[in-house]
Amino acid sequence: MEMKEFYDYEGEISKLSNAVSLLEWDMRTKIPPKGVKDRAEVIGKLSRMIFEMSTAPKMAEFVEYFNRPRIYDSLSDVDRREVDLASKHYRRQKSIPPDKIEKFSIICSKGESIWQEARAESNFAKFQPVLEEIVEYLKEFTELYGYEENRYDALLEGYEPSTTTNDIKKIVDGLKTDLVPFIKKISQAKVPNDAILNGNFDKSLQEKLSIEVLKAMTYDLDGGRLDETAHPFTIGIGPGDVRVTTKYDPKNLKPSFFGTMHEGGHALYEQGISKEYRRTMVGTAASMGIHESQSRTWENMIGRSRAFWKFFYPKLVEIFPQYADIPVEDFYKAINVVRPSLIRIEADEVTYNLHIILRFEIEEAIINDRVKVADLPELWNSKIKEYLGMEPSNDAEGVLQDVHWAGGQMGYFPSYMLGNLYAAQFFARARKEIPDLDERIASGDLKTFREWQREKIHRHGSLYDPKDLVMKVTGEPLNHKYFMDYITEKFSDVYGI
Amino acid sequence: MEMKEFYDYEGEISKLSNAVSLLEWDMRTKIPPKGVKDRAEVIGKLSRMIFEMSTAPKMAEFVEYFNRPRIYDSLSDVDRREVDLASKHYRRQKSIPPDKIEKFSIICSKGESIWQEARAESNFAKFQPVLEEIVEYLKEFTELYGYEENRYDALLEGYEPSTTTNDIKKIVDGLKTDLVPFIKKISQAKVPNDAILNGNFDKSLQEKLSIEVLKAMTYDLDGGRLDETAHPFTIGIGPGDVRVTTKYDPKNLKPSFFGTMHEGGHALYEQGISKEYRRTMVGTAASMGIHESQSRTWENMIGRSRAFWKFFYPKLVEIFPQYADIPVEDFYKAINVVRPSLIRIEADEVTYNLHIILRFEIEEAIINDRVKVADLPELWNSKIKEYLGMEPSNDAEGVLQDVHWAGGQMGYFPSYMLGNLYAAQFFARARKEIPDLDERIASGDLKTFREWQREKIHRHGSLYDPKDLVMKVTGEPLNHKYFMDYITEKFSDVYGI
């Protein structure tokens, strides 16, 4: 058996995945309302086919064969990595019986619609029974997947390969210790005026601005496009077709502008993966956390920096002349206002991680039976009080705010935090290696940094586990101090503290 | 075995077809340039899977079983029709070995790219060898498909089921006899001024007008959408998702406006097929010709009628105020100018059929070895002279103008003509059954006519062969005199002859 045969087989699966990606992109951007029901059936059919191919005897044969020591050792590094990733994926897929997966996905659909009602009514009791069912399934899955130390590891593995609950706990402990006091300090300082971000912003002009910034970021519009959607996302339909979406608030520029930069950061990653890994598992992103680090870098470290706006403010003024009389420094401060919020998706870059820490701690406790679903609202409220000093007035702005659990996703939230931390550590490294980085950004040269990212991170795809990648790029393991240094320096300046 | 099992199997194929439809729609409307190559692979993969399912032993088993006399006779009318259609399709698919289909599709791809060069250089000799290869394949296919009287029947069957070469010859003979002298007569009359159709027309306003007319036509925008493309088409991605496309000429309203009405006519057909036939073969259009009749009705019989513009002109003026001072009668005459052209796609509704007759006669002669590919340019030029009194100055505006042959399509052209004739015959019937049809159209009530179409034609899908459908709706077989009556009356008036 040759690796070529294996790659061809994976290639066939990849073609079906591309089709599903387009079907999903369309469902979230273009589909007419009456097409939705049929579309779900079409996606269901193709997803089943992908599952069947991924768990077929043919795949078992590949996994068995290429893992034979003598064969495995004869492979190139990249081929070995491909075999590792495919084997891991195969075993994970095979560990849960298909009928259980199907039942779970039905319960999650039900979960999402009950959650919607429960949130609208701010009624956790309504959501509780289905969430209990979901949690029971997830606990069972962790046993089927297997883990070494902590049940929660088995869930993390689906999003952040080779990162353990213990790894995250260590990070969380350090971060909390440093972050909570810093936020207290900021909370006592004078908030800059961010009312200047409100106004009337024509949608087609916002779109123009989004295209402008994507071009500045070196996003390749010949290999992608920008569309409007309700919940923005980026999707790779193939190596030459990586699409970005955004949404427009007619009264505020922030959602579309920073949303576009965020998604553009994801897109640069997808566009930068080496074409030689096309249609392989190595040719996919290293992890959700690494992906998020790329989007956060562009959204926050570049998009909310003084250097960037030195270059980009005139372009903004050109499209929205109402900013002509507002000094760029005022604008810079306005986009960096820190204002603790009960709602995660409204959080700024300083407080965001605390929302994640709270969720991680709750998820980990639930999966390990240290907390009951019934006790979630109370636990939530006490934690948010501790971390942000605020109290939700109802469950809709507390425990019911996110869709993730209703959809069966536990283990995903930590990726958001890891993304922020990876981003800061990578960016600190880039600063070292490109000493005039700020000047380059201020002059509109974003390509030098993008090339650095591509060279160090993007092109490798999944060739390295996130942990190894961080080590390779920065010379040390993930350390939350880079993030703390970054926000301390930036916000001490913005807030004059 | 139950019909349900068969319908379920067909349903699975239909889901894959829906996916292919979306992939194709996207490839022609939204895809970024660098995504095209991968997309072709994805479409190829899914098309192969559809072919495999359609020719699988399981399908053979269904066909064999449900055609057993005792079983067949016990089925409902609709189920019997489904079995007939599926059996015919199965046998046709099975009659050509897969590797031959693959070779043919490679030659056709080559054919299209050589054709593009040959047309650009106006050099038939360059195209001749590959066209000869394509014709050889098509002749071989006719033998494999089988036919009773004429090889060309086997090609027609792919587009216009149960219509024979002889049927078309009879129609063509009558139509030519009546049409050629009428065109001569018109050619000598004074041409109305259609320069008023030129100007500057903002694309987004043209789009607004297109949406306006689609709504007036009762096209359901909750089950479809309008997008821009290079070569407009309509596509059903599912019963609740029928999409229209159009293109905008910034200097002339005609292409987008009448193009949209044309595609909208196709779309009303797809939207009107009874939902109870969802995911079956009965639930598809009766034939290409019947489909074309629906688009032609809306584009020409309604869209180019006085009655329609009585209602719609104020809407046009609202969007394009430059028409405020132009009398609607002048506009009506301008959109009905007849001007013989060498190019089919620029032809008006009077001369269009002659372009088709010419192509039909040539195709039929080639397939039956009465003409050699090498002799095509000369034959083409002599025929266009005879029918329209014009001579191409080169092959680009003669025999090289259409892509169809390069793409392996012979037998398709007659559907355009049949569409025009069916349209006139159906419309004459509708006039009889809705005596105040013109008044209704003039008052903006297009729904009454649409309901008539839906009741008589759309909802049945493929329940009847085109021939039976025409008989059922109009009480007589297809007769070209309805078309002649329609154009004679209309254009005698427009041209005052």
The alpha-carbon gap from B256 to the nearest alpha carbon of chain A, in Å, equals: 21
Across the interface, whether the CB atoms of B223 and A32 are under 8 A apart is answered yes
Residues A299 and A261 sit within 8 Å (Cβ to Cβ) = yes
pLDDT at residue B317, rounded to an integer? 98
The alpha-carbon gap from A456 to the nearest alpha carbon of chain B, in Å, equals: 24
Residues of A in contact with B46 (CB under 8 A): 15-16, 19
Query: How many contacts, defined by CB atoms under 8 Å, are there between A and B?
Result: 105
Provide the pairing of β-strand B234-238 with B241-246.
Answer: antiparallel
List all residues 6 or more positions away from A159 whose beta carbon is below 8 Å from its beta carbon: A287, A288, A289, A411, A412, A414, A415
Residues A207 and A255 sit within 8 Å (Cβ to Cβ) = no
pLDDT at residue A108, rounded to an integer? 93
Chain A contact residues (CB < 8 Å to B): 12, 15-16, 18-19, 22-23, 26, 30-39, 41-42, 45-46, 220-225, 237-241
Q: Give, in order, the Cα–Cα distances in Å from A237 to each of A280, A292, A326, B439.
A: 14, 18, 41, 51
List of chain B residues with pLDDT < 50: none
- Give the CA-trace dihedral at B66, B69, B74, B75, to 10 degrees: 40
Residues of A in contact with B234 (CB under 8 A): none
pLDDT tens, residue by residue, A1-56: 899 999 999 999 999 999 999 999 999 999 999 999 999 999 999 999 999 999 99
Length of chain A: 497
CA distance A30 to A40: 14
User: Of A26, A34, A225, which has the smallest distance from its Cβ to B32's Cβ?
Assistant: A225
Q: Is A317 helix (H, G, I), strand (E, B) or coil?
A: helix
> What value does the mean pLDDT of chain A take?
96
pLDDT tens, residue by residue, A404-435: 999 999 999 999 999 999 999 999 999 999 99
Of all residues in chain A, what percent carry a pLDDT higher than 70? 100
- Could you give phi then psi for residue B287, rounded to 5 degrees? -175, 170
CA distance B267 to B263: 6
DSSP 8-state code for residue B374 = G
Across the interface, whether the CB atoms of B16 and A241 are under 8 A apart is answered no
Closest CA relative to residue B114, chosen from B381, B405, B410, B371: B405
Task: Identify whether B228 is a catalytic site residue.
Answer: no
User: Of A30, A37, A39, which has the smallest distance from its Cβ to B225's Cβ?
Assistant: A30
Q: Which of A215, A225, A227, A237 to mutate to test the interface with B (most CBs of B within 10 A)?
A: A237
Closest CA relative to residue A386, chosen from A340, A338, A421, A417: A340
- Compare all CA atoms of chain B with the CA of A44 and give the residue at the minimum distance: B15
DSSP 8-state code for residue A276 = G
CA distance B210 to A17: 35
Please state which CATH number belongs to domain A124-497: 1.10.1370.30
The alpha-carbon gap from B450 to the nearest alpha carbon of chain A, in Å, equals: 20
CA distance A419 to A422: 5
Structure tokens at B45: 């993969």
Residues A159 and A417 sit within 8 Å (Cβ to Cβ) = no
Closest CA relative to residue B38, chosen from A87, A223, A128: A223
- Compare all CA atoms of chain B with the CA of A46 and give the residue at the minimum distance: B16
pLDDT at residue B251, rounded to an integer? 97
Chain B contact residues (CB < 8 Å to A): 12, 15-16, 18-19, 22-23, 26, 30-39, 41-42, 45-46, 220-225, 237-241, 243
Across the interface, whether the CB atoms of A32 and B224 are under 8 A apart is answered yes
Structure tokens at A144: 């089927």
Closest CA relative to residue B298, chosen from B261, B247, B340: B261
Residues of A in contact with B221 (CB under 8 A): 32
CA distance B378 to A55: 60
CA distance B488 to B497: 10
With b for 16 or more beta-carbon neighbours within 10 A and e for fewer, the A305-315 pattern comes to: bbbbbbbbbeb
Residues B328 and B198 sit within 8 Å (Cβ to Cβ) = no
Tokens 């997947």 correspond to A145
pLDDT at residue A58, rounded to an integer? 98
CA distance A133 to A100: 13
* Identity of residue B296: R
- Compare all CA atoms of chain A with the CA of B18 and give the residue at the minimum distance: A42
Q: Give, in order, the Cα–Cα distances in Å from A440 to each of A258, A443, B218.
A: 20, 5, 56
pLDDT at residue B237, rounded to an integer? 97
How many angstroms separate the most distant Cα atoms in chain A? 71
Across the interface, whether the CB atoms of B38 and A239 are under 8 A apart is answered yes
Residues B285 and B254 sit within 8 Å (Cβ to Cβ) = no
Q: What distance, in Å, lies between the first and last C-alpha atoms of chain B? A: 65
The alpha-carbon gap from A12 to the nearest alpha carbon of chain B, in Å, equals: 7
- Compare all CA atoms of chain A with the CA of B15 and give the residue at the minimum distance: A42
B427: Cα separation from own chain's centroid: 17
List all residues 6 or more positions away from B181 whose beta carbon is below 8 Å from its beta carbon: none
pLDDT tens, residue by residue, A283-296: 999 999 999 999 99
User: Of B39, B41, B223, which has the smallest distance from its Cβ to A34's Cβ?
Assistant: B223
CA distance B209 to B222: 18
The CATH 1.10.1370.30 domain(s) of chain A lie at 124-497
Structure tokens at A254: 């922030």
Instruction: Kindly write down the DSSP assignment for every residue of A112-177, as one continuous string.
Output: HHHHHHHHHHT-HHHHHHHHHHHHHHHHHHHHHH--SS-HHHHHHTTTSTT--HHHHHHHHHHHHH
CA distance B478 to B167: 9
**Threshold 0.80, pTM exceeds:** yes
User: Of A15, A26, A225, which has the smallest distance from its Cβ to B45's Cβ?
Assistant: A15
Residues of B in contact with A23 (CB under 8 A): 19, 22
List all residues 6 or more positions away from A169 whose beta carbon is below 8 Å from its beta carbon: none
The neighbour count for residue A368, using CB atoms within 10 Å, is: 14
User: Of B30, B37, B238, which has the smallest distance from its Cβ to A38's Cβ?
Assistant: B238
Evaluate the CA torsion angle A482, A483, A486, A488 in order and state its sign: negative
Query: Rg of chain B's alpha carbons, rounded to an integer?
Result: 23
CA distance A313 to A323: 9
Residue of B157, B263, B292, B299 marked active site: B263
Q: Give, in order, the Cα–Cα distances in Å from A90 to each of A48, A56, A104.
A: 15, 9, 19
Residues B157 and B145 sit within 8 Å (Cβ to Cβ) = yes
CA distance B100 to A131: 56
Residues A257 and A250 sit within 8 Å (Cβ to Cβ) = no
Closest CA relative to residue B265, chosen from B229, B228, B238, B304: B304
pLDDT at residue A33, rounded to an integer? 95
Across the interface, whether the CB atoms of B38 and A222 are under 8 A apart is answered no
| CATH architecture of the domain with residue range B115-198+268-497 | Orthogonal Bundle (1.10)
The alpha-carbon gap from B24 to the nearest alpha carbon of chain A, in Å, equals: 11
Q: Which of A42, A228, A270 to mutate to test the interface with B (most CBs of B within 10 A)?
A: A42
The CATH 1.10.1370.30 domain(s) of chain B lie at 115-198+268-497
- For residue A372, what pLDDT band results from cuts at 50, 70 and 90? very high
Instruction: Give, in degrees to the nearest 5, the angle at Cα B444 between B291 and B255.
Output: 50
The alpha-carbon gap from B121 to the nearest alpha carbon of chain A, in Å, equals: 29
pLDDT at residue B492, rounded to an integer? 95
Residues A200 and A253 sit within 8 Å (Cβ to Cβ) = no
Q: Give, in order, the Cα–Cα distances in Å from B187 to each of B78, B104, B486, B490.
A: 49, 43, 18, 15
Residues of B in contact with A12 (CB under 8 A): 45
List all residues 6 or more positions away from B326 whose beta carbon is below 8 Å from its beta carbon: B196
pLDDT at residue B70, rounded to an integer? 97
With b for 16 or more beta-carbon neighbours within 10 A and e for fewer, the B173-183 pattern comes to: eebbebbbebb
The alpha-carbon gap from A327 to the nearest alpha carbon of chain B, in Å, equals: 35
- Compare all CA atoms of chain B with the CA of A241 and give the residue at the minimum distance: B35
Structure tokens at B190: 């004074």
Kindly list the catalytic residues of A.
263
Across the interface, whether the CB atoms of B34 and A241 are under 8 A apart is answered yes
* Identity of residue B294: Q
- Supply the ipTM of this predicted assembly: 0.93
- For residue A441, what pLDDT band results from cuts at 50, 70 and 90? very high
pLDDT tens, residue by residue, A379-393: 999 999 999 999 999
